[in-house]
Amino acid sequence: MASNRLQRINEDIQRELSSIIRTIKDPRLGDKLISITWTETTSDLRYCKVHLSVLGEVDEKQFMKGLKSASGYLRGELSRRLNLRYTPELTFQLDKSIAYGAHISKLINDLEHEDSRSEEGETDDCE
């Protein structure tokens, strides 16, 4: 379990990266809405795993290459904005939980829609 200090640092990193990432002009990242869902920093503050989700379809391989090439810039900007002894090295992971949740929600809505159609059809058959 993360300590309160580490939890605050994770929140600060998440907030600052969210604003910094909007300034990146890399075409591989495109004009997609990038949301940082959570960050996970090691206790020695050397490494930080950044979990992010992207709204819309992206080429995952090219997107990750774009993020990797921008990681130096992101780390530098992060060090300017946060007062930490060590600025962690950033690694990125796509968080597909939001897309997965939207997919499940769509499936449930489709099932409900099919059920309502089948109930309408059953009442017509009985008459």
pLDDT tier at 15, thresholds 50, 70, 90: very high
Domain ranges of the chain: 4-95, 96-127
Q: Is the pLDDT of residue 52 over 80?
A: yes
Q: Is the pLDDT of residue 126 over 60?
A: no
Most confident among 7-16, 31-40, 97-106, 109-118 (mean pLDDT):
7-16
CATH H-level, domain 4-95: superfamily? K homology (KH) domain (3.30.300.20)
Contact, 26 vs 63, CB < 8 A? Answer: no
Rounded to an integer, the average pLDDT of 71-81 is 93
Q: Is the pLDDT of residue 1 over 60?
A: no
pTM of the model: 0.74
Give residues with Cβ within 8 angstroms of 40, minimum separation 6: 10, 48, 49, 51
Give residues with Cβ within 8 angstroms of 126, minimum separation 6: none
Of 26-30, 40-44, 46-50, the poorest mean pLDDT is in: 26-30
